[in-house]
Structure 1
């Protein structure tokens, strides 16, 4: 395919309606027109980029990324989703550092036995495709935390709707909607059952079809009579046992870092080659 040769003849002003030549446009006017063109192109480009970054429905790339991320559960090594050691710089009370060591990984499964009935019902609109779980202990081996990744069957709109509902109704703070822990024999988490749940967090993601959660407790197996959500336990002045023991920070800090790793893995796995 060839392009027409550029016209190098001197510019001739157009004729006016009365047959006279129109005035030659000034350099300032020409510059202003060019600036408007550049600005318009920039605004259009910005709008397209914004749609991609926010996962707008007009972006095929976002939809492809979302769909591909939902398949990570069977194509990514366990050590990538749940690293053997997780560093939590500034994750503890007062900005102290935390280090979590993995003590057990559950076989991937469905969600039938992983949630109490009410939480299973609350998560029902997005469907459970697969559930991955691992349990960690802190450096002192006095606290334990199970973190889970529930891969859903939902599209981005359904995930956004569920997130809105959780936020508006405060479902992530209700004690009757706590996730269940994963206990493993012959580990420090062997006695981590429903009665040992102390603090928890639940995050419904909208850029990938995943619900991230974590639930923490004491490693000595003590029963907790006043469990408290991580959001409430981390508030200044909270006096419950989970708050005083930093278990809200344990759940929130570990969940956040597993979530960041998931997003990084999803981005790497679904990026298009240049």
Structure 2
């Protein structure tokens, strides 16, 4: 049989069936889960518009081994928006869409933005250059976004015209801080005024008020209305009043009867005290714990008024009359006591205070108990200075005179003030 005879019935052979499509992997396969098609009902991202419906691939034609529905390769370059492809013809092998559900119209892909890096790079320049930049192309023609005018700050947070900006929190707390500072300044000012008043009272300055006049009047009566043990206690304790801050203790060994001022002072001191007169003089003598030093404490109640006492105090301070060796008070040497040999030649140190707010002059004079003479006496203000090497300073006689004078002043002040507050 010839060759044509071999192919005479070739048209009767059945055609080669097409290759079956590769089945899709199961949904639960973790390796291919990212290749699933996006469901058509998935909500679109904000601002990107609706997604186009997914078009299923057309089956291959029977008897044609090459696929006929593969679209050609796109000719556009990355970063540009291609033209919308033609709509696919309706398939005849599928069931018609139910009339109750209208078919979704294909979206205009040319107006849908692409969520790609190239699209954002091509359209993000307008966000940086602004609407007036010519390089942004069509983006420059977009109208500017309306801006909301800034809200006016509250009245209590307006910052000043000059200076750095003030945060709202700091501005709200500024009135509080100012109030606290004002209150602190007021308290400080009152404290200074009260302190000055107290200091002037302690220094002898009188303010002329009725209370000050009452205290002044009572000070004239203290010498005879107060027990002697109150004005001159049997034991005086001086904590930290000795040399180097050592504690001192003095014991009373004699009390002189109250008397006038004749013979109690050197002539020049008596002359200096003459303008205020002498109402009464009270004295007592003490010995220290070692029975080495003796000291006589005295208080002169004057006849002067308030103004005369202030004038005398200012004169003593201006002329330094309390430091002159020719204006020393004399001691009270009691017989049969450690102060029996305590005479004018044994005076080593002394202290005098004129109280301007009381009609009183207090003093103290100290010396050695063994009767040794002192050729170079020194006032207590100098003998108590640091670094002093004189005999009155090293023996503590200057500290004795100053401390006992201070104790006598405190006793008279306390009793004068107490008499004005006690009910009559």
Does 1:126 find its partner at 2:300?
Answer: no
TM (normalized to structure 2)?
0.52
Q: Give 3-state SS (helix, strand or coil) of 1:257's partner.
A: helix
Superposed, 1:171-210 pairs within 5 Å as 171-210=321-360
Q: When the two structures are aligned, how many residues end up with a matched partner?
A: 233
CA-CA distance at 1:272 after TM superposition: 5.0
After superposition, give the CA deviation of every residue in 1:155-181 in whole Å (9 maximum; x if it has no partner). 121111111111111100000000000
The residue matched to 1:198 in structure 2 has which SS?
A: strand
Shift, 1:111, TM fit: 0.2
C-alpha distance in structure 2 between counterparts of 1:106 and 1:79, whole Å = 13
Residues in 1 aligned to 2:232 and 2:383: alpha-carbon distance in whole angstroms: 25
Q: How far apart in 2 are the matches of 1:236 and 1:77?
A: 37
> How far apart, CA to CA, are the structure 2 residues paired with 1:63 and 1:163?
17
Cα deviation for residue 270 of structure 1 reads: 2.0
Distance in 2 of aligned mates of 1:271 and 1:66? 13
Equivalent of 1:261 in 386, 411, 417: 411
Cross-structure match for 1:93: 243
Contact in 1 for aligned 2:254/2:334 (Cα 8 Å): yes
Establish whether residue 56 from structure 1 lines up as the match of residue 207 from structure 2: yes
Normalized per residue, the structure richer in helix is 1
Higher relative contact order (CA 8 A, sep 6+): 1
Write out per-residue CA displacement over residues 99-137 of structure 1, whole angstroms, 9 at most, x where no aligned residue. 110000000000011001100001111111000000000
Q: Which is higher, the Rg of structure 1 or of structure 2?
A: 2
User: Contact 2:220–2:301 (CA<8 Å) still a contact in 1?
Assistant: yes
Separation of aligned partners in 1, 2:360 and 2:399: 21
2:279 partner SS: strand
State the match for 2:234 in structure 1. Answer: 84
What 5-or-longer segments of structure 1 have no aligned partner?
1-38
Q: Secondary structure at the match of 1:214?
A: strand
Unaligned runs of 5+ in 2: 1-185
RMSD: 2.5
- In the other structure, the counterpart of 1:168 is 318
Q: Distance in 2 between matches of 1:64 and 1:264?
A: 13
What is the aligned partner in structure 2 of residue 227 from structure 1? 377
Provide Cα deviations, 1:45-94, integer angstroms capped at 9, x if missing partner: x89x959965312x122112201211111111100100000110111011
Residue in 1 aligned with 2:254? 104
Following TM superposition, the consecutive aligned residue runs of length 4 or more in structure 1 with deviations greater than 2 angstroms are: 49-55
CA distance in 1, matches of 2:310, 2:382: 23
Structure number with higher strand proportion: 1
